[in-house]
């Protein structure tokens, strides 16, 4: 196997990975390892925007308060404080670098409103293409750096290390079939979420949680995976992929109607359609269940059509391709798996319990998101903690780990169909048994099914397709076990057999390989 040495290895090329690589380049040579193209990530498809305090009528304290409310008691105060204070600095930094956020006729940055926010503080770029424009902007900065080396279509298959430390990554080059060994003083995991373990998801097909599975295998603690955020308004057309219809659409005044034409959110929450995502998604689920429907509608017919088509150009074009005029016709929507609220547990500098392993972005559990992510905080988290992780990683002295013997991974087309069949089978189990509303009977049934799959593919023989089956099964089991242990309803975790929040469960749930799950106290403001 060819060996390559760097100062920092970044796994993933979404906004968190790009931010981490950009800042890490100040301290040495950086490798970006990504299993697809550099511009394929959840970040690229983020429509809503990035939340930050830029207006004189807003304050970090208000942003912090909104985040804590959305997080339903599970946010770590110190992490949220870092996010809202340093987030403002990171956005100012981007503006200074020339990031083209949308502006009004006077040259002032336009600010949008989204669910759970008490002020207009959502910055946009390209209307409803903020993720794409922001990722594209930072990607240009990254590729200009002579000491950043991208490896596209190269999948990390193993974190190298032992005895609680990591010193590198084994990866498989899809084009050549070559196995590469990357060595560095630090590995920064920025591999994104896992929402593609569900049948219906707003995420690209790459969002399969590989990085979390690798971290789990390496002994990292995984936190709060029971909290899966389902986006309330994903396009629902039978036989078609779920396409995200941004929360910003409701921020501009769109209504949610059931199939009988009733605007149902008004009587459920004071903020109506702009209630936190968990509230809206649960309300839609209940309304569909009550009426025997598989969708509800978004209505914008009471708004200015020209403004709507301009503000949401990307969404408008996509819907038009499906024969829907978003300004005049009802848009059929239903919730879809969107965001992994938990992830690999880390401190405020992205450092995990495994020496040499750092994490940032959606793959991380920093304590910011709690039980339900506040809209448009995710891109901000990528910027803030991507920088923090890279700076802390640069201070790390080379880890003295004993090298382990390595077996090359192969990519056999013989197992591709097996992977697709098992992936779809597990996605169906997760969607039907561990979706928006859960109960013990269904989850235990799912658990037994998934345990059987995991046992069957535990010995994957170093074939990449079979490894993916094992990783998917591991992730599904982590979600299932966490959901069974949390006997309450809170944020993105709703149980019909335990419908109320229970103060006894105001704790983070940690899972670690070969150890019993444990509960960890939330860090409140008074926490020292």
User: How far apart are the C-alpha atoms of 81 and 525, rounded to whole Å?
Assistant: 10
Nearest Cα residue to 312 out of 396, 374, 249, 263:
249
Q: What is the C-alpha to C-alpha distance for residues 427 and 473, in angstroms, rounded to an integer?
A: 10
Q: What secondary structure does DSSP assign to 193-222, as a single string?
A: --GGGSSSBSS-TT-S-HHHHHHHHTT--E
Element (H, E) at 442: helix 440-456
Query: Cβ atoms within 10 A of the Cβ of 396, count?
Result: 16
Tokens read off for 201 = 């998801």
Instruction: For residue 452, give every residue at least 6 positions away whose Cβ sits within 8 Å of its Cβ, in sequence order, or none.
Output: none
Instruction: Say whether 284 sits in a helix, a strand or coil.
Output: helix
Measured between alpha carbons, how far is 508 from 519 in angstroms, rounded to an integer? 6
Tell me whether residue 69 is exposed, middle or buried, using C-beta atoms within 10 angstroms of its C-beta: 0 to 12, 13 to 18, 19 or more.
Answer: middle
Cα–Cα dist 32/273, whole Å: 40
**Burial track 102-116 (b if 16+ CB lie within 10 A, e otherwise):** beeeeeebbbbbbbb
Residues tagged active-site = 277
Name the one residue in this structure whose structure tokens are 């920064």: 188
Strands 168-173 and 148-151: unpaired
341 contact partners, CB below 8 Å, separation of at least 6: 224, 227, 228, 229, 369, 370, 371, 372, 373, 491, 492
* The pairing of beta strand 186-189 with beta strand 30-33: unpaired
Question: Which two three-digit tokens encode residue 232?
Answer: 């309330």
Is the separation of the CB atoms in 154 and 172 below 8 Å?
yes
357 vs 167: CA distance, rounded Å: 8
Q: Which of 108, 338, 345 is nearest to 242 (CA)?
A: 338
301 token code pair: 């017919």
Q: Find, among 503, 511, 474, the residue nearest to 487 by Cα.
A: 503
Q: How many residues does the chain have?
A: 528
DSSP class of residue 323 equals T
Task: Please choose, from the candidates 500, 511, 499, the residue with its C-alpha nearest in 3D space to the C-alpha of residue 475.
Answer: 511
Give CA separation, 255 vs 56, 121, 251, in Å: 29, 21, 10
């Amino acid at each position: 196997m060819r060996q390559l040495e760097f100062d920092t290895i970044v796994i993933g090329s979404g906004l968190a990975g790009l931010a981490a690589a950009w800042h890490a380049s100040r301290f040495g040579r950086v490798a970006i390892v990504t299993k697809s193209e550099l511009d394929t990530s959840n970040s690229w498809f983020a429509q809503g925007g990035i939340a930050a305090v830029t207006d004189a009528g807003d304050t970090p304290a208000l942003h912090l308060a909104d985040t804590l409310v959305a997080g339903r008691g599970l946010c770590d105060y110190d992490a949220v404080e870092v996010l809202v204070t340093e987030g403002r600095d990171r956005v100012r930094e981007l503006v200074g670098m020339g990031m083209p956020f949308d502006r009004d006729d006077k040259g002032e940055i336009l600010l949008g409103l989204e669910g759970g926010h008490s002020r207009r503080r959502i910055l946009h770029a390209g209307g409803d293409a903020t993720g794409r424009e922001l990722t594209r902007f930072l990607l240009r900065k990254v590729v200009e750096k002579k000491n950043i080396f991208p490896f596209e279509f190269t999948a990390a298959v193993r974190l190298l290390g032992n005895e609680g430390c990591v010193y590198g990554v084994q990866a498989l080059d899809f084009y050549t079939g070559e196995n590469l060994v990357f060595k560095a003083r630090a590995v920064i995991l920025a591999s994104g979420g896992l929402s593609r373990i569900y049948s219906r998801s707003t995420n690209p097909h790459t969002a399969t949680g590989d990085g979390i599975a690798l971290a789990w295998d390496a002994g990292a603690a995984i936190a709060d995976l029971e909290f899966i955020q389902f986006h309330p308004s994903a396009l629902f057309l039978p036989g078609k992929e779920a396409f995200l219809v941004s929360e910003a659409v409701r921020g501009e005044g769109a209504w949610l109607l059931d199939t009988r034409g009733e605007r149902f959110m008004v009587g459920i929450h004071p903020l109506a359609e702009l209630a936190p995502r968990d509230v809206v998604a649960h309300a839609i689920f209940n309304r569909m269940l009550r009426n025997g429907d598989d969708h509800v509608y978004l209505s914008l017919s009471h708004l200015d059509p020209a403004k709507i088509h301009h503000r949401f150009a990307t969404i408008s074009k996509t819907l038009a391709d499906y024969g829907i005029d978003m300004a005049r016709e009802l848009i059929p929507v239903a919730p879809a798996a969107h965001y992994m609220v938990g992830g690999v547990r880390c401190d405020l500098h992205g450092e995990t319990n495994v020496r040499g392993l750092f994490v940032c972005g959606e793959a991380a559990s920093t304590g910011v998101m709690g039980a339900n992510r506040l809209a448009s905080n995710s891109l901000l988290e990528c910027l803030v903690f991507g920088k923090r992780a890279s700076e802390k990683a640069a201070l790390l002295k080379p880890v003295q780990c004993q090298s382990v013997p390595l077996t090359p991974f192969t990519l056999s087309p013989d197992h591709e169909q097996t992977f697709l069949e098992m992936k779809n089978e597990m996605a169906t189990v997760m969607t039907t048994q561990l979706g928006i509303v859960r109960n013990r009977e269904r989850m235990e049934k799912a658990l037994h099914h998934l345990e059987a799959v995991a046992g069957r593919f535990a010995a994957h023989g170093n074939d990449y397709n079979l490894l993916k089956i094992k990783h998917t099964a591991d992730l599904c089991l982590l979600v299932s076990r966490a959901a069974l242990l949390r006997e309450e309803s809170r944020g993105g975790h709703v149980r019909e057999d335990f419908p109320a929040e229970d103060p006894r469960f105001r704790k983070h749930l940690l899972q670690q390989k070969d150890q019993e799950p444990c509960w960890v106290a939330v860090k409140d403001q008074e926490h020292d």
